[in-house]
Structure 1
């Protein structure tokens, strides 16, 4: 049963089509007059005429009609050619063309549809048939226009959201500061999907050349995931006084997230502190993936440990801190869940090992820029044509005194 709002919308459309512009194209004055009289009697107010195909194209170019009622058999430029020229231009792709014809030959009818005719009306024209077809195609036209406007508005809003999203990510100035203070070079890569995602990452400078680094991956996609990512960005930077202590930092972030998220919303997260003096990466995880560490010249990568309940699951969750040696000649790779989900396999520990095996040759590059490029290329080859969500890779390389590229 149609709701009151749907019925009102239908009524508005029916009223709206009466103001649509209809172009009647026929070389016979009597036919133009007859069709116009039928349309005006039904309430259509905006009707224009064209006396042949050339006149029709000129008037369509001057003002786009909402529907064309087109005769096929005309001297000079016939209806077939008018259709062909209209459909050759993208701007006329959705323009309804209602052909009136006395042709009964199946081949001619097929030709009309092949050239882009929307519908056919047989001569002599029946009033009820004409009005029914005009109404349905104008209603479809209005529906298509509404959908196009909605899509344009949605695309603009998504573009704005993605731009805002980009402002949450670390800037080149922060990378430069981290490089000067710690000797650690940071590079990253994001593969953005068609949907708005909820993964963010960032750095928090700390005293003594140390810095904290987080990568948070919201479950799901869309506006809800993005809004939660924005909220968590604010929360994480409010917790900067705790940033030297990974387990306390993540425990408090989780407690706050429980109050922000809906009951079924969760996030995976890794947070760690790089201490260049001690040569360590101390980190804690909440349902996040294991960090991958590669030492220059090593044949295999080291996979860290990862556990912990997802962020937002339970306020009482507590997270433990682990430590990896992160000294000169070492590169560290962090990544979100979508990276593993895009790889062949079940996205579990086997996929982590696959990614680690890809990382070993890639991260043997002489510098972080080339290493990041090689890692992205290796991942692209492994993923192939599989569709994916937003994928994030963060690469850390230590340190300036070891790698000649650090001076560039």
Structure 2
């Protein structure tokens, strides 16, 4: 054996050792009207371990084989009877199932115009005749590996999308249902509307309802640092902790103090949450609340403008010795309460400015004329979206609660009166 032949043999052995079994078992279809070319290419590929090689002598025969069982890679001659390689390539690219099939064109045509026509027909790559065996093996291996990599990434992406969708559904299931929200009107005369819009598949916002021992109702809103999977995991942690809270304590500050102490030891380093918890006593027509670094709750009484309520307090999960103060004010018939996450006040508008707390109050003005909380919330969100130049970069949660006892013609809620 001469030196050149020895070098080829050694190179083939090196290539065979490098290629993984999945590549070598891939299906290769070689299409050429010359027997000698078919024999040469199939022999070169078989010599390094490719074991699933099919042959066709014209474009039409190849098309029948492809439609019956698509290969992982197609090696295609250009000049063939019945159907040329160019025509076959164009036909394949019109089929969505075969649009990504790697097509390696082997041709003696070498002008720029010829190459443009070949790639314009949809070829992935080309190799010039006379074919060099090592180059053929290298190009075939490259494109098969690339196809397998893309398929693996696609499967991973689809699996991740499925899992994220399931997690998103689960996160939405943690929120009060539409039936629970509408029941507040019948039980307490409280008209509640809400929106929860994660900025990605999963969010770090959460809100919920809590029963009170005095027959009233509690509502909370929490916003964990960041967004995405990690922030969403923290909302599940909070939900688990709240399962131990059968009834909201008489003073919302007590709940925040307890949650802060427990979250301090549960949250990863650097993670924290802002939170507001409000309690409405329909019998006494009062509102009590406590805040842990949240945007200030907004209150509107009949005939008055929107005003900020006290919201001082360290976010949860930072210092387990923090105690949270409970505040109280009147919440008579016709009053409205708004709780929101900071996406509403801190997202830059199309002008580049943030609304801040004053801008949120301006946004709410006029919504009180709507007939119910849902209509009011829709008006506010439409005005907010019109101010934006793109999608939200943070999770948005907004809750509007109106005391509509007087509109029901009741002096007090039936449950509270009993």
**The two structures share one fold, judged by TM-score above 0.5:** yes
Query: SS at the partner of 1:204?
Result: strand
Distance 2:163 2:55 in 1: 40
Q: CA–CA distance in 2 between the matches of 1:85 and 1:280?
A: 73
* Structure 2 CA distance for partners of 1:360 and 1:11, relative to 1, 3 Å: farther
- Whole-Å Cα distance in 1 between the matches of residues 107 and 61 of structure 2? 19
How many residue pairs were aligned?
393
Partner of 1:306: 311
- In structure 2, which of residues 59, 63, 70 is the aligned counterpart of residue 57 of structure 1? 63
- The CA deviation string for residues 67-86 of structure 1, in whole angstroms up to 9 with x for no partner, is 11111222343222322232
SS at the partner of 1:238?
coil
Is 2:169 aligned against 1:180? Answer: no
Alpha carbon RMSD of aligned pairs, Å? 2.4
Structure 1 counterpart of 2:346 = 341
| Cα deviations by residue, 1:106-125 (Å, 9 ceiling, x for unpaired) | 02212322332211100111
| Counterpart mapping for 1:1-400 below 5 A | 14-295=20-301, 300-344=305-349, 350-400=355-405
Which TM-score applies when normalising by structure 2? 0.87
Residues 68 and 206 of structure 1, relative CA distance in 2, 3 Å threshold = same
For residues 53-74 of structure 1, the C-alpha deviation after alignment (integer angstroms, 9 at most, x for no partner) is 2333332222221111111222
The structure with the largest alpha-carbon Rg is 2
The answer to whether the 8 A contact 2:190-2:404 is kept is yes
Give a deviation string over 1:219-255, Cα, whole Å, max 9, x none. Answer: 1233332222111112123134443311111000100
- What is the aligned partner in structure 2 of residue 7 from structure 1? none
Distance 1:356 1:281, change over 3 A: same
Q: Which residue of 1 aligns with 2:412?
A: none
Cα distance in 1, alignment partners of residues 323 and 115 from structure 2? 73
Cα distance in 2 for partners of 1:307, 1:100 equals 73
| TM-score where L is the length of structure 1 | 0.89
Q: Please state whether the residue corresponding to 1:396 is helix, strand or coil.
A: strand
Gaps of 5+ in 2: 1-15, 410-418
Kept in 1, the 8 Å contact 2:215–2:281? The answer is yes
- Of the structure 1 ranges 93-102 and 16-25, higher mean CA displacement relative to structure 2 is found in 93-102
Take 1:13 and 1:400, find their aligned partners in 2: how far apart are those partners?
75
Q: Distance in 2 between matches of 1:83 and 1:340?
A: 55
- The farther-off stretch of 150-159 and 317-326 is 317-326
